[in-house]
């Protein structure tokens, strides 16, 4: 069984979207039962759940159920899903421990947060 080397993983920082993951990066095999993909639904101009806690290496998939396009955009600007149209999804992997406040760049009153815990 592989155990994640945190020192190595941290160097990769935050990887935005599966397409941006370097092919040279080791496949993240995590000490718990592997990386998870957690879902946040955007509906009626709310992120649900508003607070989501996950482990390093997990991904979040935002799915928009509203007619209006939305985004999930890190408040400090480190990551951004870009525009998510109705019934569209966007995925971001979180490899850095911390608390990340985010909002919808089109509707700034929509706010939520992601908490990334270490393994």
The interface with Cu ion within residues 53-72 (CB under 5 A) comprises 70
Give yes or no for residue 77 binding other proteins (CB under 8 A). no
Nearest in space to 72 (alpha carbons), one of 38, 117, 42, 116: 42
Binding mask 36-75 for other proteins (x = CB under 8 A): --------xx--------------------xxxx------
Phi, psi of 35 (to 5 degrees): -65, 145
Residues constituting the chain: 119
Place of tokens 């993983």: 9
Place of tokens 């069984």: 1
CB of 48 to other proteins, least distance (A): 14
Give yes or no for residue 104 binding Cu ion (CB under 5 A). yes
CB of 113 to other proteins, least distance (A): 20
Segment contacting other proteins by CB under 8 A, of 12-20, 55-63, 91-99, 101-109: 101-109
Cβ proximity of 35 and 59 under 8 Å = yes
Residue 91: how many other CB atoms lie within 10 Å: 16
Residues that bind Cu ion (CB under 5 A): 70, 104, 106-107, 110
């Amino acid at each position: 069984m592989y155990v994640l080397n945190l020192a190595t993983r941290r160097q990769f920082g935050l990887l935005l979207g599966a397409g941006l993951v370097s092919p040279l990066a080791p496949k993240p095999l995590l000490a718990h039962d592997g990386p998870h993909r957690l879902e946040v639904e955007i509906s009626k101009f709310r992120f649900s759940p508003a607070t989501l806690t996950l482990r390093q290496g997990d991904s979040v998939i935002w799915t928009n159920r509203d007619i209006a396009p939305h985004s999930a955009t890190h408040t400090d600007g480190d990551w951004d899903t870009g525009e998510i149209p109705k019934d569209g999804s966007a995925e971001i992997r979180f490899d850095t421990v911390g608390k990340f406040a985010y909002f919808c760049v089109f509707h700034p009153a929509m706010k939520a947060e992601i908490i990334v815990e270490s393994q």
